[in-house]
Structure 1
């Protein structure tokens, strides 16, 4: 019985994407975080969405919980919302996937829906616990819009390489 390489590439790629998100935010902090806008890199969500469409991953919810927990502990120091939001987004992606045939546009739209939902839920959680008092309109124009634009560009650049890697590793 042959063991698929995706078993090893998926968690490795997921953690690389997570830490690349942090590295991009740190390296380009002056551009990503300013008084007019905030950009949140979500490359780990790109990895998760692409895996739903192009790979047979064993225990995807385990990895989703693990990456959410890792994000919370590494970047914030406490167990927080990512621990719950990442598995929820994975579940919703799988539900949406069941209705569509994979194509560039379908994967792109589902990825953008996931980012919008993820970012909006994270905002609402922060409003509920009093971490932010930014209005919804300011949030949409200052964070959600730039975040979607950045991640759209990342998707266009990374779609073919990630799809090829996942299809190759899944054989």
Structure 2
């Protein structure tokens, strides 16, 4: 049962992202800013930090493919980027302390890296023509802010769950 708990958490985060996009009144609060919830990626990165690197990368592959199938026109961007970001975070956490503040900042860095890499891929294949500075102002900064708020609320409960799961599986 405990082995399926991360999967259930990630399904819930996947659905929560969709609900956030549908129900949050972004149009009334911002002037063209794009808020991208990356709750699923934040959960995967927290699992990578507080669980195991292997779990984080596997869930990154699984949910990256799911994300590509459901949301994108190009299969493979998130399939490749989610596990790559998890791997990057696991290597970064080997040299940093594992506390909630550092973990939150590293997860935000992982989200920023993902956003920039996805922007660059979309720019490269001409899906977007938005200049980089406009991307930073209209999408990257609001995305980091909304995900920071999510992390402030959920980092501790997710940390506790992933540590508990990691202990019981090991």
Deviations 1:26-79 (A, max 9, x none): 222644996521010001111112112222476432321110010010123651
Q: Corresponding residue for 2:58?
A: 62
- Cα RMSD for the two superposed structures: 2.1
Is contact 2:26-2:35 (8 Å) kept? no
Q: Corresponding residue for 2:11?
A: 15
Does residue 161 (structure 1) correspond to residue 142 (structure 2)? The answer is no
Ranges of 4+ aligned residues in structure 1 off by more than 3 Å:
29-35, 56-60
Q: Corresponding residue for 1:115?
A: 111
Question: What is the alpha-carbon distance in structure 1 between the residues aligned to residue 61 and residue 104 of structure 2?
Answer: 23
Of 125, 128, 132, 1:132 maps to 128
Q: Greater shift after overlay, 26-35 or 143-152?
A: 26-35
Question: What is the alpha-carbon distance in structure 1 between the residues aligned to residue 126 and residue 56 of structure 2?
Answer: 32
Uncovered stretches (5+) of structure 2, i.e. residues with no partner = none
Question: What is the alpha-carbon distance in structure 2 between the residues aligned to residue 167 and residue 148 of structure 1?
Answer: 25
Alignment map for 1:37-56 (pairs within 5 Å): 37-56=33-52
The number of residue pairs the alignment matches comes to 167
Is contact 2:100-2:156 (8 Å) kept? no
| TM-score between both structures, scaled by the size of structure 1 | 0.88
Change (3 A) 1:102 1:86: same
| TM-score between both structures, scaled by the size of structure 2 | 0.88
Does residue 72 (structure 1) correspond to residue 68 (structure 2)? The answer is yes
Uncovered stretches (5+) of structure 1, i.e. residues with no partner = none
Q: Greater shift after overlay, 29-38 or 115-124?
A: 29-38
Alignment map for 1:21-40 (pairs within 5 Å): 21-28=17-24, 30-31=26-27, 36-40=32-36
